[in-house]
Amino acid sequence: MIDVILNTIVSGILIGGFYAACAIGLSISFGMLRIPNIAHPGFIIAGGFLTYYFNKTFGLDPLLAGLLIIPIFFAFGFLLYRGYNRFFESKRDEREGQMSALVLFFGVLMIIEALLSVTFGVDFRTVTTPWSSIVLHFGSVGICLRMAVPFLCSVLMVCILYLYFSKTYLGLVIQAVAQDSMAATLIGSDPRFAKSIAFGISFSTAAYAGTLFVCLVPVEPSLGMQFLGRVFSIAILGGLGSPLGTAVAGLIVGITESLTTAYIGSSWTLAVSFILLLIIIAVKPTGLFRR
Amino acid sequence: MSMKRFGLMLIILVVVASFSMAGGKAEGQEGSDTEPIRIGASLALTGNLGSAGKSILLAWQICLEDWNAKGGVLGRPVELVYYDDHSNASEVPGLYTKLITVDKVDFIQSPYGTPAITAAMPIAMEHGMVYPGNAALAANKEFNYKYYFSFWPLGPRQVEGIADLFFEAAMSSGEKNLTVAILSEDNEYGARVSEGALESVKKYGLKVVYNDRYPPSPATVDFTPVVRAVQNTGADLFFVGSFPQGTISIIKACKEVGYKPKLFGGAMTGVAYAANLTELGPLLNGVCACCYYVPEPTIQFGNVEDFLETYQSRAAVEGVDPLGYYNPPWAYSSMDTLLKAIEATGSLDQTVVGDYILANGWDSVVGKGAWDPAGSGEIAESRGFLVQWRGIESNDLSEFMVPGKQVIIAPEEYQSGPMLWPSPLFED
Amino acid sequence: MNKLVVNNLKASYQSVQVLHDVSLTLHEGETVILLGTNGNGKSTVMKCIMGMLKSCSGEIYLERDGQRIDLLGKKTHDIVNMGITLVPEGRRLFPYLTVKENLVLGSYPHHARGDVDENLDYCYEIFPRLKERHRQISNTLSGGERQMLAIARSLMSKPEILLIDEASMGLAPVIVRDVMVQIGRLKDQRKLSILLTEQNFNQAIKIADRGYIIVHGSISYEGKNKDELMGNDLVKKIFLGIE
């Protein structure tokens, strides 16, 4: 009995870490930069497909392939912010800007799906590696590397981002810009540059979350649209803009889902995690970790 | 809003629209003197059903090319007018109304899948159109439409019949007091599969120890908790009704948690697609699932091999499922049967053609047969069978193109080898 | 002699002209006060110098080692990197960062990064309260502490010219005195040139070398030293309430 609980919780932790990796970029773009990038899950799926492509074409380990696509996504995010800033952000008041940005990013999400469908086809794709099928046993707890490796990568990602945002100049500046853009210029920083970097980072995390996604389960182009709700709710639950909060929120959702599946029934999984979300938001509207 | 902003919004909208609405395309012979006969349809070319939709489109295109090469139908070329419904059933009624009233097509083919086919049924009925169905589960149950013809191999018992095959196979082991776990996806398909399984289980006097539904992908990313819950019940038979992503994930999760039921699988879809087969490879060993075509010697359906040869040579180029074991033969037959009826009756009248098909049954690359006399629009006898994989050594596609690895264990008339009991799951 | 020069500065918000003709000079090592009541354009002058207002015209330049460097039209962050910094009205701290993070951010300009530890020690030395609270989130500080932090943050960039907008705004008189004393000490210790806008004449005059009075967007009086300022009729009328 205790074995089942332990195994269930471990599963929840492992998948929760992955959820955090998916949501953390949105937490940065939506939370820190106030850019409602609903195309984020689309970029995750795109990252997954590119990883798949590099794996199948060059036989690269997906985790390595993921590292290779990060610069591409970073550059893309960096430039996309420049465009966004030029055409949307600098010309409107914030509310109006966000509304048209929603339309923009919804379009981007659909374009990504269409491009992926055309380029890679609409089949489910996944990457299998020599380590995917290994299961490690610790006493009665079995941990499969297919789940554990993405989890460890997610943890590493969260730690790197946490350190980056709290210990480096540029990381702190990004936070500063998010809190008071005018004051940020007075410490000699260029908010546009800082935000471009942050958006690039947000995209990089999407790319790598995609890598982890395609290692975990089969992925197809329209999954981005379907994954939107969960990614947003975890980002909000964590308190937008907080890497640690996002990680904790991911774990909470993961463990809740896992326990619900095992003890209440899998048909309740979604309902229970959304009820939990509603309760937390009702009690603490800014999410778990927003100060 | 200034002109510049307005212009920008306009550009964005146009770009978005051009991707999302990917307008109707007509294809067929050009420069012909005679007006073509036009067949209209919407298909899931993008979205989560896109894989199936694209393979159906290719089958139809091959069919039309075959007919046009022979000089067309009634001496006129045949042309396909189709739209992408993005795997979204709610777009379907509008598209069919447009096909019938604006594009004024001569005949229609159904979209792909139960929700879409059901969605367009009232439109087809309203205009009295012959409505050949492409892969639906009992879509006609509520409508009882006379001219709905389901080109799908499950027969009147539908998915409920799959459960019969599965539990019949389990019973043939001779073992007593088997316990059953039923797990299916939380959608229409899963509900029907579970229902059928419960009926079947009752018929064979088996005991159900687990019965649940999981939220459809991608809500369920990790299947290990649910599989562990099943494992914890110690069920001997694990009957699963899943869509492709679930199929792959559940098989992997079973392997990972070390759950080895005596018979595993049943109504898991997606196992006919090359991408999924190669993804799973040796993990499929011992797994059972319902299939409609495998290259086993006991399968002698019309000239399906010839069709698959053409299909496979084209699919590789077009980036569509390279095997074509699932939808394409039936999609080809659906189109082919319709065109044959038009040619035979010499008429473009829906009633005339519909009555002809009703009376003469289906006849094409999947062989021939009659319709369910009860009027469900399904084929009279099921053509589904249960396959148990074995001896798969690699993730190579060639593994699945030779006989002896996808052995048919039920029903008896197609059986090509003995059932392995208990299933040697996941063994290389 | 290095100096900051503002010449014939005009500025407007949308169509309303708020600065008509402002000229002032800040020499190296001086503390100059810009006096004026609310709405006369003191803050606007500061914003123009820092490049935060697009619609200004005239001349703003630095004279450094005999070279003239134009500031008008430059971006704010570039101006900060030249060693000019502003303690803005309302302090504008980063509310969800800690005191220390706020301070460290102050040393963002490249020329200041190398001395970040030394500068931190210096700030903690002149504002010991900040040291006590260095791990506290800045929006939990009291008003006086915030003003100290705002000044300390700007010092972290090792400025040569420090602009302080309304240092005493919203502070209790006793704290205003403290802040003024600290600003006075800064000038001596760091060889800063300080331009200070103030409404609180009594406190500001204690540390000022010279001053200007701005009325309705124009400089209406320039006092060459403390005594001249103290004796001026306009000052008496506006700030001291003596008719």
User: For the segment A51-78, what is each residue's pLDDT rounded down to a tens digit?
Assistant: 999 998 999 999 999 999 999 999 999 9
- CB contacts of A15 in chain B (<8 Å) are 221-222
Q: Report the relative pairing of strands B179-185 and B131-133 from DSSP bridges.
A: unpaired
Nearest chain C residue to A178, by CA = C94
- Percent share of chain C, pLDDT over 70: 98
**A window 20-49, beta carbon within 8 A of B:** none
pLDDT the model gives residue A291 = 54
Nearest chain B residue to A109, by CA = B16
- Percent share of chain B, pLDDT over 90: 66
B228 touches chain A (CB under 8 A): yes
Looking at the complex, report in whole angstroms how far the Cα of residue B254 sits from the nearest Cα belonging to chain A.
11
pLDDT tens sequence across A183-228 = 999 999 999 999 999 999 999 999 999 999 999 888 888 888 878 8
pLDDT the model gives residue B114 = 86
Cis peptide before B411 (omega within 30 of 0): yes
Which chains have 3 or more CB–CB distances shorter than 8 Å to chain C?
A
**Residue labelled with tokens 């060889």:** C191
Task: Determine whether the interchain pair B214/A7 forms a contact, defined as Cβ–Cβ distance below 8 Å.
Answer: no
**B window 15-34, beta carbon within 8 A of A:** 15-16, 19-20, 22
Nearest chain C residue to A241, by CA = C96
Nearest residue to A118 (alpha-carbon basis) of A39, A38, A221: A221
Query: Residues with Cβ < 8 Å from C20, sequence gap 6 or more?
Result: C10, C216, C217, C218
With a cut of 70, say whether residue B28 has pLDDT above it: no
Q: Tell me, letter by letter, the H, E, C secondary structure of A184-245.
A: HHHCCCCHHHHHHHHHHHHHHHHHHHHHHHHHHCCECCCHHHHHHHHHHHHHHHCCCCCHHH
A175 touches chain B (CB under 8 A): no
Candidates A11, A13, A89, A122: best to mutate against B (most CBs of B within 10 A) is A122
- Count of beta carbons in the 10 Å neighbourhood of residue B29: 16
pTM for this entry: 0.82
* C-beta of residue C7 within 8 angstroms of C-beta of residue C1: no
Query: Residues with Cβ < 8 Å from C12, sequence gap 6 or more?
Result: C18, C19, C55, C56
Looking at the complex, report in whole angstroms how far the Cα of residue B92 sits from the nearest Cα belonging to chain A.
18
ipTM: 0.89
With a cut of 80, say whether residue C92 has pLDDT above it: yes
Candidates C81, C84, C97: best to mutate against A (most CBs of A within 10 A) is C97
Candidates A251, A261, A263, A264: best to mutate against B (most CBs of B within 10 A) is A261
- CB contacts of A166 in chain C (<8 Å) are 101
| Inter-chain contacts counted by CB atoms under 8 A, chains A and C | 67
Longest dimension (CA), chain A: 60
Structure tokens at C33: 């006060």
* C-beta of residue A182 within 8 angstroms of C-beta of residue A48: no
Nearest chain A residue to C88, by CA = A183
- CB contacts of A270 in chain B (<8 Å) are 215, 219
C88 touches chain A (CB under 8 A): yes
pLDDT the model gives residue B107 = 97
Structure tokens at A176: 């500063």
With a cut of 80, say whether residue A173 has pLDDT above it: yes
With a cut of 50, say whether residue B1 has pLDDT above it: no
**A window 207-266, beta carbon within 8 A of B:** 216-218, 220-223, 226-227, 230, 254, 257-259, 261-263, 265-266
pLDDT tens sequence across C223-233 = 888 888 888 88
pLDDT tens sequence across B288-332 = 999 999 999 998 888 899 999 999 999 988 878 899 998 999 999
pLDDT the model gives residue B22 = 44
pLDDT tens sequence across B198-249 = 999 999 999 999 999 998 877 788 898 899 999 999 999 999 999 888 999 9
pLDDT tens sequence across A3-58 = 888 888 999 999 999 999 999 999 999 888 888 899 999 999 999 999 999 998 99
CB-hemisphere CA count at 13 Å for B130? Answer: 26
* C-beta of residue B297 within 8 angstroms of C-beta of residue B404: no
- If 0-12 CB within 10 Å is exposed, 13-18 middle and 19+ buried, where does residue C141 land? buried
Instruction: Enumerate the β-bridge partners of residue C62.
Output: C4, C69
With a cut of 70, say whether residue B397 has pLDDT above it: yes
- If 0-12 CB within 10 Å is exposed, 13-18 middle and 19+ buried, where does residue B125 land? middle
Query: At A149, which amino acid appears?
Result: V
- Percent share of chain A, pLDDT over 90: 52
